[in-house]
Structures are given as C-alpha cells and as structure tokens.
A = this chain, B = another copy of it.
Amino acid sequence: MFDIEVLDTTLRDGAQGEGIVFSVRDKIAVTETLDELGVSWIEAGNPGSNPKDLEFFRLASSLKLTNAKLCAFGSTRRKGVKASDDSRLGSLLDAGTQGIAVFGKSWDFHVSEVLKVPLQENLDMISETVAFLKSEGRIVLFDAEHFFNGFSANPEYALSTVTAALEAGADRIVLCDTNGGTFPHAASAAVQAVALEVKKIKPDAVIGIHAHNDCGVAIANTIAAVREGCNHVQGTLVGFGERCGNTALAALIPSLELKMGRRCLPEGNLVRIGEMTRRIAEIANVNISDDMPYIGAHAFSHKAGMHTDGVLKTERSFEHINPADVGNERHLLMSEVGGRSALVNRVKKIEPAVHKDHPAIITLAEKLKNLEAEGLAYEGADASLEILIRKELGKYTPKFNLEGYRVMSEHPAKGTLACSHAWVKVLVDGQHEIAADEGVGPVGALDGALRRALTRFYPSLEKMRLEDYKVRVIDGKEATSAKVRVLIESTDGSRSWNTVGVSADIIEASCTALADSIEFMLINGEGRE
C-alpha cells in the first residue's frame, strides 16, 4: 500500500522505557491515535508476559481500525518444547492479531551465553516457530535480535538464522540493533547481505529495521537501511523505549517522505504528525523535546540576526524544508512581532476591531508573559485564555462569585460516608446558595458541590461534565509546597474546552480551573456578550 511500512512499537518497546506506564485505556487511546495517523502496523504488547496486555488484546479485537494492523510480540518457542505445545505461542495466537512478531537470536554469543542452547537448536527453534505460526494463517514478522552484532561477530551464523526464518515462511525479516551500538555504514553492509538472502530464498519477503538510539544514530541507521532496500521501519512515534529509546518515527517519517520521496502515511497525513505525536506524549505523560527534528517547538525558530534576516529574504536560505509540510511553524525570535500577531489573531475572535497596537493587546501581551512566568500555561487552556481576554477587553461579567469553600478528607471513612466532603457558598445576582457534596477525593467532592450550587441558577450545567484532569508539579524541588498546574477538559456533550489553574495548594488550583470551566460554558452557552 505504501512505499515504506511503518511499524510503531510505542505499546511494546516504548512501554519498556523507564517511567512509561500505560493503563489498558491508555493503550486503546494510543492505538486509535496511531491508526488515525496511518501507520501500517501497531505492535501492541506481549500477551504472554502480563495480564494487562492480555486484557488489551481482548478489548482491541472490537476496535475498528482504518489503516493499521495489530501485531502481538513474543519469543520463539521454548527450548525442548514442540511449538504447538508452547503456551507462550498459544497466548500469541489467542491475542487474535493479524500479525505476530517473534524474536529469535542471531548472535552466536547470545545463543551460547544467554539462551544456552547449541547453535543448531536455535535455528530449529526459529524455523519451527515461524512454520507453526504460518500454519495458523498469520503474517509472521521475524525479529532477528542483535542481528548487527551477530553479523559482525559471525556473519555466516547470523545469516543462517535469517535463512531459517525465510525458509519457514517468514513474511518480514526485521533486523534489530537491540543494543543500539551499530553505526550506519555497518547497518548498510548488513542489510546488503540480507537482501541477497531474501532475493535467493523468498523474494516477496520484506526487510525491516528496528534501531535503538544508544549512539544517537538510530534515525541514520534506519535511513541507511532504507537506502539498501529495507521497506519496513520500526520505532516509536515520540522515540521513547528501552534505555536511550527507539528510532523516533516523528523525526524519521518526514525525512523519508519529503527528502527520499518514500510514502509512509496516507496522503495528507504528514501535516498531522506533530499533533498525533503530542497526543501520545500526553498519554504517556512525557514531554516532547523542544528541539525535536521537524515537530519540536523550536524546530523552525530562528534566533541569530543573520538567520532571521536570511529567512525574511528567502525562506529556504535557512530552512531545510517548509515547516507547513509537517504542520509546524516558523518563529522569528528576534522580533516580538510573531508573538503579538498570534495574540491579535486570537483576540479578533472576540473583538474583530483590534489591531496590533491596540492598548489591550499590549497590556495582554505583558500580562501573559508574567502569568506564564508564574507557571500558567495557556497554550493548552484556551477557555481560560478567553476569560482573561474578555476581562482585559471589559467584555466580561462574572456569572457567579465563589464566596468560599471547605473541603474535608477523612480516613478511614465512616459508615456510608465517602472519604471527601466539600461545602461551597456562591453568590449569583445578589442571592446566596450553599451546597455540599462528597467524593472519592477532595477535587471530585468540590466539583460536585460547586455544580449543585450553580445548577439552581443555571440548569444547563446539568449537561456539563469533566472529561480530563491533569496535574503537573511545576517545581518539584519545593516538595509539598511546590506549585502545581491543574488542567481540566470539560464538555457539554457536543464541544470540549480546557482551563488551567496554578497554586501551591492543589485544591485551590483545581478550584480555579473548575470555576473557569463553568464560567466558559455559561458565557458561551448564552451567546457572546
């Protein structure tokens, strides 16, 4: 379908990155995101290794995927066991995926010292495993573990593992730089040798590469392999994975498409690669480095005078591609012009008459700078930004005043009472209302009480609910008195909006974000003022 098959292993090798933990729901969300971007394969876990992956595959079988095929991952059969009797291979089949990736040893040293079986037995394990899975009608990807080390130590044996897999019917031969110590020239030479075997034995098999970034050359190794005829590339969109991570697909795919003319994604999807990568980073709760190639916030930032000057004369003078091709933007750092233009653009949605030198724009730009220095981040909280803009333009009448609240958490809980209780008092049009609620945690209780108090005045709030709640500690080193930033996503069933709150008190930060969220719904639900 495409020139290059992309296999994303965020859910398998990515989950082996330190600090990466996915819930089953996270895994579903990652799968949907990768399918939306349009990768060919999603390697989603090892059903034999843990109950979460098993549960995932059960749920995933009912997902409707448009672009991607799912792939389960596991090892070749156990030593001394028939493939059809090996329960781990049984789990792989039970996962019910179209593809199955099995890894086998290609480095003689690993066969003797880690697996501890004779070299021939390892070849039998590969060949019987692949043949068994093929007989069950699956697309089989053979991951030749440590292939590049093996090829350098004992090329003949390394190639014989590939031959064994090909003769048993493997559809993909994936050369893995498991330890990440290989350089591009060595990767090229190894792929050349494998390409000859493939041509001889099973010309329709596809060669793949799975690189790790321990020398900082995972992307270069992958590009070198593609130049030698490899048509299947593996990695993780963000780049995280075991140790220094896998090939960062978001930094690789634009090079393959834009510079090597090799199609990897459905037409028109390359511009969404940054958005999808950030979505996965959010789910994994990691940051995308600002200087990440192509999609990073700084990837097209020009700071040196000579550079901004050159770019203003002719863009390609200091840009290797057009940032718009990957959905990114140019930033000229020497001028404040870029920043204020974006703000004017946003303010115009509320007040079409503003211009760049309008006093409200100048004050707002200053205020935003100060608030962001305090830890507020409006780029993910457009609804809070709108409230701030309205206040500055004098286009804001508060829908309610939160006079005060009390939140109590008590452990152990008593009888049928929940652990957390909240009490709030609001003022709307001169009338007070007091309400209370309980919850599992203090923020849930506060949210409930606030909504109860206001629903008397604004029945439309019945429809509103919270969709997402995120907490980030801004300065961890202050320990429990560190500031936290709370981001909340709310919905009324048809649209969603985001608000933010910052405080050294997590309850207060949450309350600010909750109150902004309710204000936003009320302002917009009753028409613009």
Contacts and interface: CB of A to CB of B under 8 A. Distances in A.
A289 B297 CA distance: 16
Stoichiometry (number of copies): 2
B473 A310 contact: no
Interface string A113-144: 11000000000000000000000000000000
17 contacts: A19-B377, A21-B372, A23-B475, A29-B477, A113-B313, A114-B310, A215-B219, A220-B221, A404-B412, A407-B408, A411-B507, A441-B503, A442-B505, A442-B507, A443-B480, A468-B476, A480-B510
A367 interface: no
A457 interface: no
A201 interface: no
Contacts of A370: 51
A473 to B, nearest CB: 5
Interface string A238-282: 011011110010011001000100000000000000000000000
A507 B219 contact: no
A410 B419 contact: no
Interface string A177-197: 011110111000000000000
Contact of A252 (B216, B243, B307, B503): B216
Given A239-B291, A476-B468, A504 B305 contact: no
Contact of A181 (B184, B215, B320, B503): B320
Contacts of A380: 19
Contact of A467 (B179, B304, B477): B477
Most B Cβ at <10 Å: residue of A309, A405, A408, A447: A408
A229 interface: no
A226 B289 CA distance: 28
Contact of A259 (B183, B440, B478): B183
